[in-house]
């Protein structure tokens, strides 16, 4: 059970984590990395939209919004 990988979607509002891996088969990953979503950087979940999707994260001084679908391809571990 605990072996199941944690993704950005498992974060709670206000909590931080470290990005471990990005799904490089997903085309959006290239764009996310260019915008600064890189392995080993610290990420904070700042907001969840009223309807549960999308979410807003803070990473490397930038605030980004992304959908749950994209967030699922970003793996994390505790900071």
**Tokens 């990395």 belong to residue:** 33
Of 5 and 62, the one with the shorter C-beta distance to another protein is 62
* Smallest distance from another protein to CB 60, Å: 6
Nearest residue to 52 via CA among 37, 28, 69, 35: 69
Of 15 and 36, the one with the shorter C-beta distance to another protein is 36
Joined together, the tokens standing for residue 33 give 């990395």
User: What is the contact surface with another protein in residues (CB under 8 A)?
Assistant: 22, 24-25, 27-36, 38, 46-54, 56, 60-67, 69-70
Of 5 and 60, the one with the shorter C-beta distance to another protein is 60
Report the C-alpha gap between 47 and 53 in whole angstroms. 10
Joined together, the tokens standing for residue 77 give 């571990």
* Smallest distance from another protein to CB 2, Å: 27
């Amino acid at each position: 059970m605990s072996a199941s990988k944690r993704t950005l979607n498992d974060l709670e509002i206000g909590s931080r984590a470290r990005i471990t891996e990005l799904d490089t088969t997903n085309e959006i990953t290239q764009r996310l990395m260019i915008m600064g979503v890189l392995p080993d950087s610290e990420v904070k979940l700042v907001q969840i939209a009223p309807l549960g999707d999308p979410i807003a994260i803070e990473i490397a001084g930038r605030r980004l919004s992304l959908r749950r679908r994209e967030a699922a391809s970003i793996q994390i571990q505790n900071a």
